[in-house]
């Protein structure tokens, strides 16, 4: 399949995802076969994994539909060897997908197919339906893709591996797949650096970075760095309109569990009825908990962030100094945009397209 066919089909997939999101937002029983199909997939996905709420699936569909345009796809690949892209790869690329948020593995799916290689994937048990559904949309647009896409429970024949999992599973991935060309990703999280000058509008946008996908994504903000003596009142007031998470049973079970544990252990914390703020040096935080850490010196803070860069997916901050810091500026992102990365914003900073074109 030539490059033009791939770009054309993938841009039309963006249009199909936009329509699918609109169908789900209407909340009505579909009248056509395609409308019924997306409603059925959403409902089954939510039953299988309650973290995959309809709202989160809609958000994912919408986010990808905005990226899958001809202009954006062509701009993305313009920096790579056009001859290699035109020819296309001929490799079988095995992918082990995580299942923490809806369509978490879509970027790998997109990159492998756009590079002309074949996609062979093992999906997480928590997310077995959404990516195959999107693949079926693509195949209906361009039937030639059917020979390029395989979903399987057991990976057998492949030439390269892309695997995403926890820090623990990544060690196993390295052991089993180390002899193949590979990208192995482990746990990372987003953080936010505050300096006290933030507005209510900033915090309302930051709330997206904290609460979308219930905070389960690797780009979700799980920790705040704040100046010594920082007052959280404006933060709590600004994010209170996210209290709809209180209607989600699994989320509130997590909130009540951590709230009770901290009370029993007599560990100081702040909470507003649905979010716990806990002083904790760790970057990852459990669902319904947001860690924070005080800093007194910006230079020392920046050094800490540089040292911890391997554990940080992105940094949200309006601080111009951090935006200009050479070793950090590539992962600094505007508030409210952590879950809307561009096509060239590769997970863990590893250029997947370059990797695929080198096979």
**pLDDT score for 258:** 98
Pairing of strands 276-279, 270-271: antiparallel
The mean pLDDT value of the chain amounts to: 95
Q: Is the pLDDT of residue 151 over 90?
A: yes
CA distance 330 to 353: 18
Tens of pLDDT, residues 134-144 = 999 999 999 99
Q: Which of 18-27, 101-110, 163-172 has the highest mean pLDDT?
A: 101-110
pLDDT bucket at 28, cuts 50 / 70 / 90: low
**pLDDT score for 88:** 86
Residue 273 lies in a domain: yes
Q: Is the pLDDT of residue 31 over 70?
A: no
- Report whether 102 contacts 40 (CB < 8 A): no
CATH number at residue 233: 3.40.309.10
Residue 227 lies in a domain: yes
CA distance 354 to 81: 9
Q: What percent of the chain has pLDDT over 70?
A: 99
18 and 167, same domain (yes or no): yes
Q: Is the pLDDT of residue 17 over 70?
A: yes
Tens of pLDDT, residues 93-119 = 999 999 999 999 999 999 999 999 999
Long-range Cβ pairs for the range 321-326 (8 Å, 24+): 322/193
165 and 218, same domain (yes or no): no
Residue 351 lies in a domain: no
273 and 160, same domain (yes or no): no
Q: Is the pLDDT of residue 30 over 70?
A: no
Residue 329's domain spans which residues? 189-333
Q: Is the pLDDT of residue 146 over 90?
A: yes
- Average pLDDT estimate for 224-248: 97
Q: Which residues of 103-137 are buried (b: 16+ CB within 10 A; e: fewer)?
A: bbbbbbbbbbbbbbbbbbbbbbebbbbbbebbbeb
Tell which phi-psi region holds residue 140, choosing left (phi > 0), alpha (psi between -120 and 50) or beta: alpha
**pLDDT score for 171:** 86
177 and 243, same domain (yes or no): no
- Report whether 196 contacts 296 (CB < 8 A): no
Choosing from 186, 212, 239, the residue where a domain stops is 186
Q: What percent of the chain has pLDDT over 90?
A: 91
Residue 279 lies in a domain: yes
Tens of pLDDT, residues 292-303 = 999 999 999 999
Residue 216 lies in a domain: yes
Tens of pLDDT, residues 38-90 = 999 999 999 999 999 999 999 999 999 999 999 999 999 999 999 999 998 88
Q: Is the pLDDT of residue 33 over 80?
A: no
Total domains, the chain: 2
**pLDDT score for 167:** 81
Tens of pLDDT, residues 215-233 = 999 999 999 999 999 999 9
240 and 154, same domain (yes or no): no
164 and 236, same domain (yes or no): no
280 and 246, same domain (yes or no): yes
**pLDDT score for 34:** 79
CATH number at residue 120: 3.40.605.10
- Report whether 308 contacts 248 (CB < 8 A): no
Residue 343 lies in a domain: no
38 and 159, same domain (yes or no): yes
Tally of CB atoms within 10 A around 290:
24
Residue 202 lies in a domain: yes
pLDDT bucket at 32, cuts 50 / 70 / 90: confident
265 and 229, same domain (yes or no): yes
Choosing from 148, 169, 186, the residue where a domain stops is 186
Residue 73 lies in a domain: yes
- Report whether 41 contacts 114 (CB < 8 A): no
Strand order across the 182-185 sheet: 149-151, 118-122, 92-96, 160-164, 182-185
136 and 251, same domain (yes or no): no
Nearest to 95 by CA among 18, 28, 2, 185: 185
199 and 167, same domain (yes or no): no
193 and 104, same domain (yes or no): no
Choosing from 128, 161, 186, the residue where a domain stops is 186
- Average pLDDT estimate for 211-217: 98
More confident residue, 28 or 353: 353
Give me the DSSP letters along 118-155.
EEEEE--TT-SSHHHHHHHHHHHH-GGGGGTEEE-SS-
Name the residue with tokens 């799916």. 109
CA distance 343 to 111: 9
What the block records as the tokens of 267 is 């560990």
**pLDDT score for 29:** 63
- Average pLDDT estimate for 240-267: 98
- Average pLDDT estimate for 29-35: 72
């Amino acid at each position: 399949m030539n490059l033009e066919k791939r770009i054309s089909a993938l841009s039309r997939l963006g249009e199909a995802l936009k329509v699918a999101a609109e169908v789900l937002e209407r909340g009505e029983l579909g009248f056509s076969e395609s409308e019924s199909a997306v409603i059925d997939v959403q409902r089954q996905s939510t039953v299988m994994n309650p973290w995959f709420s309809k709202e989160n699936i809609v958000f994912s569909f919408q986010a990808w539909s905005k990226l899958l345009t001809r202009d954006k796809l062509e701009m993305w690949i313009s920096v790579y060897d056009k001859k290699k892209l035109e020819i296309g790869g001929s490799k079988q690329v095995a992918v082990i997908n995580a299942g923490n948020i809806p369509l978490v593995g879509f970027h790998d799916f997109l990159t492998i197919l756009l590079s002309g290689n074949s996609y062979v994937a093992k999906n997480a048990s928590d997310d077995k339906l959404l990516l195959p559904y999107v693949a079926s949309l693509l195949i209906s647009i361009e039937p030639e893709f059917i020979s390029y896409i395989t979903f399987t429970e057991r990976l057998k024949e492949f030439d390269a591996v892309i695997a995403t999992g926890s820090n623990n599973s990544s060690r196993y991935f390295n052991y089993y797949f180390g002899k193949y060309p590979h990208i192995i990703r482990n746990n990372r999280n987003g953080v936010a650096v505050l300096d006290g000058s933030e507005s209510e509008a900033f915090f309302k946008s930051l709330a997206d970075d904290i609460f979308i996908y219930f905070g389960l994504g690797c780009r979700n903000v799980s920790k705040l760095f704040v100046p010594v003596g920082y007052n959280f009142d404006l933060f709590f007031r600004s994010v209170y309109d996210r209290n709809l998470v209180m209607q989600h049973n699994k989320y509130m079970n997590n909130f009540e569990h951590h709230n009770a544990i901290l009370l029993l252990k007599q560990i100081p914390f702040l909470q507003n009825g649905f979010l716990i703020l806990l002083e904790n040096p760790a970057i990852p935080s459990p669902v319904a908990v947001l860690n924070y850490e005080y800093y007194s010196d910006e230079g020392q803070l920046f050094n800490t962030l540089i040292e911890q860069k391997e554990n940080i997916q992105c940094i949200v901050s309006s601080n111009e100094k951090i935006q200009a810091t050479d070793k950090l500026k590539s992962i600094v992102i505007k508030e409210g945009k952590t879950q809307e990365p561009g096509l060239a914003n590769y997970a863990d900073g590893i250029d997947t397209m370059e990797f695929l074109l080198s096979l």
